[in-house]
Amino acid sequence: MRKVTVAGAQLGPIQRDEPRAEVVTRMLILMDEAKQAGADLIVFPELALTTFFPRWYMEDSAEIDSWFEREMPNAVTRPLFERAARHGMGMYLGYAELTPDGHHFNSSIIADRTGAIVGMYRKVHLPGHAEFDPERAFQHLEKRYFEPGDLGFPVWRTMDGIFGMCICNDRRWPETYRVMGLQGVEMVLLGYNTPSVNSQNSAEGPERRLFHNRLSVQAGAYQNSTWVVAVAKAGIEDGFPMIGGSLIVNPEGRIMVEAKTEADELIVHACDLDATLFGKRTIFDFARHRRIEHYGLICSQTGAIPPAP
């Protein structure tokens, strides 16, 4: 048995004027609770240090860059890494990354139990728009502020297991899990910020959004025989509601624990990485059962999307 006790550290809303240092204080409280609960690894949401700023239209590049981290760790986030090391706890953290040569990514890192960063991921599937549209009920401008990730979906051998990362909208894409599954991933860590209502389909409210969250995470876990830990930033942020529903799903696709609130809340589960092996060796033995000669369309650039009426 290779046991990793994971704490999903859901964050409640972070308002636009809430300084990063205050958010870090909230995160440290969750880290201490996680330690009390025996956690080996803590998972924070996407863009965990600030409000979900891509909902705001900005033109001024200095204002835009103020939402980004130029290095990780930095003065404000170093306490997270130090506390993780003191607790002997790994960490997944999502944040907006501004590289030294001026590139903007929606990124995450995984640090090991010494607090050292061992892996970095940059969000591939950026939802939303690049331009402001006054007709939309609310804006989701990720394509305006971020470039698509350029690192693919690697996995990392650390903490006695094989770990992968993705971010929010990535979880809706089977390819995300499959690329990691083909590398033997045993635990996928992912953070998200999901509005409670689909701005392009008013029928899609919180219940359906929670359903799709569970559906995509459970399917990804089962079909690749991996643990998935999905963690929200939730609640009413800057006046806009976001779903909670953070969850830890086992390699059979079953939910082991799910958040009950839309506030700062810890969900904890002792995950056995060896529980991934049965599925990987039987129904999802990719080497024996896959039929890649039939999957060419997956790699084509366009699919057949019905035209708008």
Where on the chain is the footprint of ligand CDV (CB under 6 A)?
A: 46, 127-128, 140, 168-169, 172, 192-194
Q: Of 128 and 154, which CB lies nearer to ligand CDV in the complex structure?
A: 128
The answer to whether the Cα torsion of 270, 273, 274, 280 is positive or negative is: positive
Q: How far is the CB of 46 from ligand CDV (least distance, A)?
A: 6
What is the C-alpha separation between 121 and 170, in angstroms, rounded? 12
Q: How far is the CB of 58 from ligand CDV (least distance, A)?
A: 17
The Cα angle at residue 120 between residues 146 and 173, in degrees rounded to 5 = 65
Q: Of 10 and 169, which CB lies nearer to ligand CDV in the complex structure?
A: 169
Return the SS3 of 106. strand
Known catalytic membership, residue 168: yes
By CB atoms closer than 10 A (0-12, 13-18, 19+), residue 186 is buried
Find out whether the peptide bond into 73 is cis, omega within 30 degrees of 0.
yes
CA 260 to chain centre: 19
DSSP H or E stretch at residue 164 = strand 161-167
Q: Of 23 and 234, which CB lies nearer to ligand CDV in the complex structure?
A: 234
Which listed residue (123, 186, 265, 280) is catalytic? 123
Q: How far is the CB of 30 from ligand CDV (least distance, A)?
A: 21
Amino acid letter, 18: E
What is the C-alpha separation between 297 and 299, in angstroms, rounded? 5
Q: Of 194 and 225, which CB lies nearer to ligand CDV in the complex structure?
A: 194
Q: How far is the CB of 301 from ligand CDV (least distance, A)?
A: 21
Task: Give the single-character DSSP code of 91.
Answer: E
Q: DSSP H helical segments within the chain, as ranges? A: 20-36, 61-65, 78-87, 142-145, 174-181, 206-224, 277-281, 286-289
What is the C-alpha separation between 148 and 305, in angstroms, rounded? 21
CA 233 to chain centre: 10
Q: How far is the CB of 224 from ligand CDV (least distance, A)?
A: 19
Known catalytic membership, residue 123: yes
Q: Of 128 and 184, which CB lies nearer to ligand CDV in the complex structure?
A: 128
Which listed residue (35, 97, 166, 168) is catalytic? 168
Q: At what angle do helices 206-224 and 174-181 cross, to 10 degrees?
A: 20
Q: Of 193 and 224, which CB lies nearer to ligand CDV in the complex structure?
A: 193
The helices-and-strands tally (H runs, E runs) of the chain is 8, 14
Which listed residue (46, 186, 262, 265) is catalytic? 46
Q: How far is the CB of 306 from ligand CDV (least distance, A)?
A: 20
Count CA within 13 A, CB hemisphere, residue 265: 19
Residues forming the active site: 46, 123, 168
